[in-house]
Amino acid sequence: MTNRDVEISISKKNDVSIINIKGDVTANTGEAIENAYQKVSTDGAEKILLYFDKDGYINSGGIAVLIGIASESAKKKQTIRITGLSSHFQKIFHMVGLTKYTAIFPSEESALNGF
């Protein structure tokens, strides 16, 4: 996925599709993130883990993209989990209410456990 502010890669562990997001999460990089989500959805993903970069920059534009993904996943009956966020952005996600729709886990292992 080519956008120099973000690197996206997709992997799979058992039946969980993992979208690795390294870098900025903004309106500018949103298309790349959205494309990754659409790719795994098209491939039939029911369980999706968004794996963020602890040092990444997330702004309100990026949060809007994630809300859009949460909204679409709810309609598709997919489950999204999140890991890799700094404590600051865990707080931000909680403040905007995203944690009502996606659970945040402290590690990839804990996110995959019991998924």
Partner 1 sequence: MIPDNKIELHIPSVMGYEKIAMETAASMAKRMGFTEDRIEDLKTAVAEACINAIEHGNEMDSSTKVAITLTAEESKLQVTVKDEGKGMGKTSSPSIVSKIEGKDKTRGWGIFLIKSLMNEVKFEPSAEGGNVVKMIIYLEK
Binding residues vs partner 1 (CB under 8 A): 5, 26-28, 57, 59-61, 63-65, 67-68, 70-71, 74, 86-88, 92, 95-98, 100-101
* Closer by beta carbon to partner 1, 12 or else 95: 95
Whole-number minimum distance, CB 30 to partner 1, in Å?
Answer: 10
* Closer by beta carbon to partner 1, 19 or else 66: 66
* Closer by beta carbon to partner 1, 7 or else 112: 7
* Closer by beta carbon to partner 1, 74 or else 76: 74
Whole-number minimum distance, CB 35 to partner 1, in Å?
Answer: 17
Residue 17 and residue 111: Cα distance in Å, rounded? 12
- Label residue 44 exposed, middle or buried (CB < 10 Å: 0-12, 13-18, 19+): exposed
Residue 109 and residue 115: Cα distance in Å, rounded? 10
Whole-number minimum distance, CB 47 to partner 1, in Å?
Answer: 19
Q: What angle do CA 36, 38, 44 make, to 5 degrees?
A: 110
Residue 115 and residue 99: Cα distance in Å, rounded? 16
